[in-house]
Amino acid sequence: MTTHTDTSAAAPGEVDVVTRAPRRRVAVDKIAGLGLIVAMLAFSVHALSRLDFSWSSMRSSMDTAVTTFSRMDPISLPPAGDLVYLIGLTVGIVVLGTAMAAVISVPVAWICAANTSPSPWLRWVGRAIGVITRAVPDVVLAMAFAMAFVLGSALPGIFALGIHSIGMISKLFADAIEQSDDGPRQAVRAAGGSRAQEFWAATFPQVLPSWIATVLHRFDINLRGSAILGYAGVGGLGYAMRVAFQQFPEGYGRGLGIAIVIFVLCVVLEIVSSTIRRHLLGTDPAGRGLGGRIVRVATGDRPARPAGGRLTAFVQRLGRRPSSADGPVGTNRTAPGFVRRLLPRHRDAEVSVEAMLHRPWTGSRVRNLVWVWTAVALVVASFWWADVNASQITWDYVLPTVQSFWPPSYGSHSFGEFAQAMLITVEVAFAAAGLSLVFSVVFGALAARNVAPTPGVRQFFRVVLVVFRGVPELVLAIFLIMITGLGNQAGVIALAFGGVGLLGKLVADSFEEVPRGLERAVTATGATRTQRFFSSTWPVGFPALVSNSLYLVDTNIRAATILGIVGGGGVGFYITQASTVMSLHGQVTTLVIMIFVTVLLVEAISTWLRRVFR
């Protein structure tokens, strides 16, 4: 055998080894994949250039903004009482809509997940439900449902959010089920359990943390999107903002004030929910962030203790004191009655079946109970605040409303017109995604623990991303459109802004998920930080980056659709026109099918690329 230290044989060995080595195979699919990625990047650059970001148009929009600011009233807020009511109404509608979607998503996810689905065709039914509900924007649903409910009811908004959110929630629920361990399910099956018992005893406890995180995540998204529901006549902050913006110029001050309230509300709730999510999933053991502090102040918890909070420590301390005294009998005597009930008996001599019948009040039990009742209270309060009841449904209109969507039609328009509109929407989506991608790679890398030069830098960019993510991009879009008088350009900027928050976070997470050992191995060879990034972190994180970017395109297409409702162009414009009139609902179906096909295409590309760059 020839080795590198064996110098006499090295030269002929080298030649030999080159001839003996197998030829490198040209991977056609990888080249095609790269070509596709380059083509999509080129398309987003093209789309950006088409949207006229020239100096002159920027200057004129700045002039418009200055004029608007000079002519409007000073920024103001509604009276405190009204404001509290509006905030409560918006949050209540979002809570109820998200909760409704979460409940419906459980069976949908169960039939979707490969490892729990009773049959293959049910999987397809489940997937179809997911894709269809996701394709129809919530605001379109709200407009279309309006007829079926009493005027001023919150129900159209709740139903719109509740149905639209099923797509994403059930998808993520199903993913969690598929990632769960199959063993416990088998154990329950081997013990004679039924399918339902398998699910509730073995699957549900495993996926619960991830499910809660998903629902909270969707809650944030819905809250950010809820303002747009005001354009469908659903009450709350969004409606109040829309009404204010209708009075030019004097209402703009009030409108801006409400917009700022929505911004703050979204950012605050984003921080709270992302902190709860992090606690649940345990991905951030440090918990030193701003949000972490807020929640700790609220819950009285400490980050250093893995299980249970102060109460556990308290109970444990109580437990230790008496058991340091000799004798099991003495132990129970010295501890006061309530402590005896609190204490799990740790010493064999004291343990009896009767004593163990009651579950001890450990910190984690108390905390879980508090969380559960808080959630229940929140839902009940939302019902009460949003003033929801069944009498608000006008049953006579339910069936005609549903029927009006079939068959699909072009109305007075043509396929060419709709296709042109669809192209504009796709351009907006790609342009925004392209802008987001550039910033996300930089911000996301700097927010990743294993790439950021110092923990301080990481923390800073994490906070930046949270703020970006918290900003409701549609409210930002409305704001920019109102102020600059521009349509889709303003929309692209707004979407790109929100996209950085989402994609940057996903990029950071995917970099952090690169196995530590891999990077350590590269470091051990004497590589520099940069070398380490490009030879281990980047190649491992790349497939995730591709699929996350396409996910962003996907969400952008939906968001760009909605832009049409607030003054942009594209399919949204036609949908808005058609969805308010029952006889035109066929056009809505046509347009939704077109969105649906486009989104499926993007998803297919994403799936394929993920397989190629696995």
Partner 1 sequence: MNSTTTTPVVSVTEVTKCFGSVRALHDVSMTVNSGEVVVLLGLSGSGKSTLLRHLNGLERPTCGAVDVLGQTVPKLRPTALRALRCRVAMIFQQFELVPSLTVLENVLTGALGRLRGPRLGLWAYPKALRVDALRRLERVGLLDKAYQRADELSGGQQQRVAIARALMQNPQVLLADEPVASLDPESATQVMDLVREIAAADGLTVVCSLHQVDIALGWADRIVGLRRGEVVMDTKAANLDKAQVMQVYRDLAPGPDVDLDAELVSAGLVSAGYSVSGPA
Q: Which helix (H) or strand (E) holds 548?
A: helix 538-563
What is the rounded distance in angstroms from the CA atom of residue 99 to the CA atom of residue 378?
11
In the window 305-344, what residues touch partner 1 (CB under 8 A)? 307, 344
With CB under 8 A, what is the number of residues at the site for partner 1? 37
Residue placing its CB nearer to partner 1 in the complex, 198 or 473: 198
Q: Is 394 helix (H, G, I), strand (E, B) or coil?
A: coil
In the window 168-187, what residues touch partner 1 (CB under 8 A)? 181, 183-184, 186-187
Asked if 119 interacts with partner 1 (CB under 8 A), we say: no
What is the rounded distance in angstroms from the CA atom of residue 118 to the CA atom of residue 52?
53
Three-state SS string across 121-147, please?
A: HHHHHHHHHHHHHHHCCHHHHHHHHHH
List beta partners, residue 149: 393
Positive/negative CA dihedral, 242, 245, 246, 250: positive
Asked if 201 interacts with partner 1 (CB under 8 A), we say: yes
Which listed residue (22, 74, 79, 192) binds partner 1 by CB under 8 A?
192
Which listed residue (13, 209, 543, 586) binds partner 1 by CB under 8 A?
209
For residues 364 and 308, is the Cβ–Cβ distance under 8 A? yes
Three-state SS string across 210-235, please?
A: HHHHHHHHHHHHHHHHHHHHHHHCCC
Which listed residue (18, 304, 357, 524) binds partner 1 by CB under 8 A?
357
For partner 1, which stretch binds (CB under 8 A), given 287-295, 354-362, 506-514, 597-605? 354-362
Which listed residue (78, 88, 107, 193) binds partner 1 by CB under 8 A?
193
Asked if 276 interacts with partner 1 (CB under 8 A), we say: no
Asked if 390 interacts with partner 1 (CB under 8 A), we say: no
CB of 352 to partner 1, least distance (A): 8
Asked if 190 interacts with partner 1 (CB under 8 A), we say: yes
What is the rounded distance in angstroms from the CA atom of residue 546 to the CA atom of residue 289?
28
Asked if 189 interacts with partner 1 (CB under 8 A), we say: yes
Per-residue burial over 31-44, b = 16 or more CB atoms within 10 Å of its CB, e = otherwise: eebeeebeebeeeb
> Cα separations (Å) of 594 from 404, 495, 563, 587?
18, 21, 17, 11
Cβ neighbours, 10 Å, residue 523: 14
CB of 150 to partner 1, least distance (A): 37
Asked if 107 interacts with partner 1 (CB under 8 A), we say: no
CB of 366 to partner 1, least distance (A): 13
551 burial level (CB within 10 Å; 0-12, 13-18, 19+): middle
Asked if 347 interacts with partner 1 (CB under 8 A), we say: yes
Asked if 356 interacts with partner 1 (CB under 8 A), we say: yes
Asked if 208 interacts with partner 1 (CB under 8 A), we say: yes
Asked if 188 interacts with partner 1 (CB under 8 A), we say: yes
Residue placing its CB nearer to partner 1 in the complex, 30 or 346: 346
Asked if 117 interacts with partner 1 (CB under 8 A), we say: no
Which listed residue (139, 202, 478, 506) binds partner 1 by CB under 8 A?
202
Q: Which residues lie near partner 1 (CB under 8 A)?
A: 181, 183-184, 186-194, 196-197, 199-202, 204-206, 208-209, 307, 344-348, 351-353, 356-357, 359-360, 362
